[in-house]
Amino acid sequence: MVKIGLEIHCQLTKLKSKLFCSCKADYREFEPNMNICPICSGIPGSLPLLNQSAVEKATTIAMALNCEIPEKIAFFRKNYFYPDLPKNFQITQLNAYGDTSIGSRGKISVNNKEIRIRRIQLEEDPGRLIYEGATERTKITLVDYNRAGTPLVEIVTEPDFENPSEVRIFLNILSDLLENLGVSDPGLEGAMRADANVSIEGGVKVEIKNIGSFHDLEKAVHFEITRQQSLHEREIEIIQETRHWDDRRKITVSSRGKEEEGEYRYFLESDIPWVNIRSDKKDQLKTTMPENISSKKERYISKYSIAPQVADILASDKYYSELFEKSHSENDAKDIANLITTDLMGLVDTREKRDSSKLLATHLSELVDAIAKKRITRTSAKDILQDMVKTGNSLSVILEKGDLNQISNRDELSQIISDVLSNEENAANEARLKPETINFLVGKVMQKTKGKADPIVTLEILKEKLGI
């Protein structure tokens, strides 16, 4: 009986400023230590100033994960010494004196299984450590506080996962959910991190930290399950401890000796008064929250008759669903959806491609309209899209520039088809004997015309010429 629980840290990268000061929330563009102030660098006499939008965004996350949200939230200090911690304590949340954390006892559905969310808390990210020096002896630790104070939401699950692939699916669902909510950009480097805890046969819980990516998480969990099962079979005791993932050797290693103290002396952070979150505020947040993914998917299927797999792709990806919502009209929703999930996908499947894409929603609507009116063929859509993504040119400009209009002129086509037939004697003979193989020749005509040939007319002429 394998039990896996997760602690996911998600940066609220959509915020403009840090959790307790007005330095920039997204630190990635800055030179070292050029995004700091007295508050986030721990200068004496500075005081934390809680970010209103951070609380609002954390509240929407709690709602999206079906958590109970208390009337008042509070913050606590977690005290320990580490070079990336400017105050040598972290301001975080926990449940003490009743529910004081932003969300508790939530749940989310993963493949028709319910995963329980124990708690959601708002807290600050520490700074970053950089190591310089070639050898162990000469290595020095350098600190960059640009990231210190970046707003984090930590999501703690109950140990409800039973295998690594459930974990992977959950993390994908969670990423999509957080992106869809507009609170974070999970694709940004370092924006989402997770630790795991693993136990087997109702035994002790082993924590695994220092996992670089979700891909590694699945591997780490898999390795740890195997390690524990192997110990168990040989009747060797499994020690309750923290282990870290060694990415080079692809194993988990005991962190004993390197561990942080277990003693954090948690107590109330009284520089931050308890924050009242009134129910009318919660209602307002709920109504202005973006529609959730499963509801979108349902709507795409029922309202536009879009196929479930297509609806799934569209709804789960904020980029696609936004494009879809903006570009479709009453009648062409299905076609737009198909276009996005087939020809467009390969052109904008990475963050870099999306950042540099010049494609607009209007481009898609124009394109679908032109295909419906037969001004261009469906097969030429891919090339046109590529051009649109690259240049941002409208359909009319592209059509003028290149010659993408569908070739329907019989004489023109007839000439081309004759050329193809003379080059493909074997295929021509085969087609005469087995008419169903004529598609090979149609394909060749398409190739030669770069997809511009009208396929129906082409087939007609081919049959004529072959005498079938």
Interaction site with another protein (CB under 8 A): 15-17, 22-25, 31-38, 41-56, 72, 74, 77, 79, 81, 83, 86-89, 97, 129-130, 139-145, 257-258, 261-263, 265-268, 270-278, 281
Q: In the complex, what is the shortest distance from the CB of residue 269 to another protein, in angstroms, rounded to a whole number?
A: 9
Can you name the residues that pair with 130 across neighbouring β-strands?
Answer: 142
Question: What 8-state DSSP symbol labels residue 394?
Answer: -
Q: Which is nearer to another protein, 22 or 305 (CB)?
A: 22
Which secondary structure element, helix H or strand E, spans residue 457, and what is its range? helix 455-466
> Minimal CA–CA distance to 12: which of 138, 233, 218, 178?
178
CB 49 within 8 A of CB 39: yes
For residue 193, the minimal CB distance to another protein (Å) is: 19
Q: In this complex, which beta carbon is closest to another protein, that of residue 142 or of residue 468?
A: 142
Q: How far is the CB of 17 from another protein (least distance, A)?
A: 5
Of the chain, the end-to-end C-alpha distance in Å amounts to: 66
CA geometry: angle at 292 spanning 290 and 297, to 5°? 125
Phi, psi of 242 (to 5 degrees): -105, 135
CB of 81 to another protein, least distance (A): 6
Of 27, 25, 73, 22, nearest in space to 46 by CA: 22
CB 441 within 8 A of CB 421: yes
**How many whole angstroms separate alpha carbon 255 and alpha carbon 121?**
25
Nearer to another protein, 52 or 112 (CB): 52
Calpha distance 166→4 (Å, rounded): 10
Shortest distance, position 101 Cβ to another protein, whole Å: 15
DSSP code of residue 12: -
- 407: DSSP letter: B
**29 vs 425 by CB, closer to another protein:** 29
Q: Which residue number, 268 or 347, has a Cβ lying nearer to another protein?
A: 268
- How far apart CA 244 and CA 193 sit, in angstroms, is 14
What values do phi and psi take at 45, rounded to 5? Answer: 85, 0
Minimum gap (Å) between residue 123 Cβ and another protein: 16
- Of the pair 41, 365, the CB lying nearest another protein is at 41
Nearer to another protein (CB atom), residue 77 or residue 219: 77
Residue 27 or 170 with smaller CB distance to another protein: 27
| Backbone phi and psi for residue 243, each to the nearest 5 degrees, phi listed first | -120, 155
Task: Compute the least distance from the CB of residue 124 to another protein, in Å.
Answer: 14
CB nearer another protein, residue 165 or residue 270 = 270
Angle at 420 between CA 386 and CA 446, to 5 degrees: 25
CB of 268 to another protein, least distance (A): 8
Residue 17, CA atoms < 13 Å, CB-side half-sphere: 16
